[in-house]
Amino acid sequence: MTEDTLKTGTTTIGLKLKDGVILATDQRATMGNLIADNHTQKLFPIADNLGMTIAGGVGDAQLLVRYLQSEISIYRMKKGAPMSVQTAAVMIGNILRQGFYVAPLVGGYDATGGHIFSVDMAGGVLEDNYTSSGSGSVFALGALEAKYKPGMTKDEGIDCAITALNSSRRRDNYSGDGFLIAYVGPNGYEDIPNEEIVSRCAKLGFKYPN
């Protein structure tokens, strides 16, 4: 991959809650040392009960999202049931072994509850209660270590994700600009409105980055 390839740089976050999961990202894309875009979509629904964050090459990530949405839709039509979070994560891992420059987080809600998986570029799949990927992950993980607790509510999870994103965007040159946050629970995938994120930042004492 060349230095001028469009990359997401990135901080992505996944949290397991009492009844669902939170997925969150920043919105900065870089090309070498250039900030190429500050409204990059790094958080996607891939099924009614599944979401995915992206870190890595933008082109590979966009292709991966379109492919997954199609394959998971076909799976549901064939099986008559939604794909489990673990099955989706394993499928993504198998795809990444073909050479995609992407390190996604996969989260969702199924018959066994909420689950968060990280998938590395070699196809390795790991489940955890909370995780982060991308260039800003080291800063986000420090905040998550201090803030995360098992069994958090949706509101607590959103605030925890905002705190971790704020930590990374302040310290990592390749993370920043806006925040994207989604909740996936018993009723499916739900984007958190930008106005709510801005309001929560203010209440937590953080300046929203845009």
State both tokens at 156.
Answer: 């607590």
- Return phi, psi of residue 200, to 5°: -65, -40
Helix axes 58-79, 85-96, angle to 10 degrees: 130
Residue 131 known to be catalytic: no
Give the C-alpha separation, 152 to 155, whole Å.
Answer: 8
Give the C-alpha separation, 26 to 29, whole Å.
Answer: 9
- Which of 2, 5, 8, 10 is flagged as catalytic? 10
Question: How many residues are listed for the chain in this entry?
Answer: 210
Whether the CB-CB separation of 25 and 12 falls below 8 Å is answered with yes
How many other CB atoms are found less than 10 A from the CB of residue 106?
28
Whether the CB-CB separation of 146 and 156 falls below 8 Å is answered with no
Helix axes 154-171, 137-147, angle to 10 degrees: 140
Catalytic residue numbers read 10
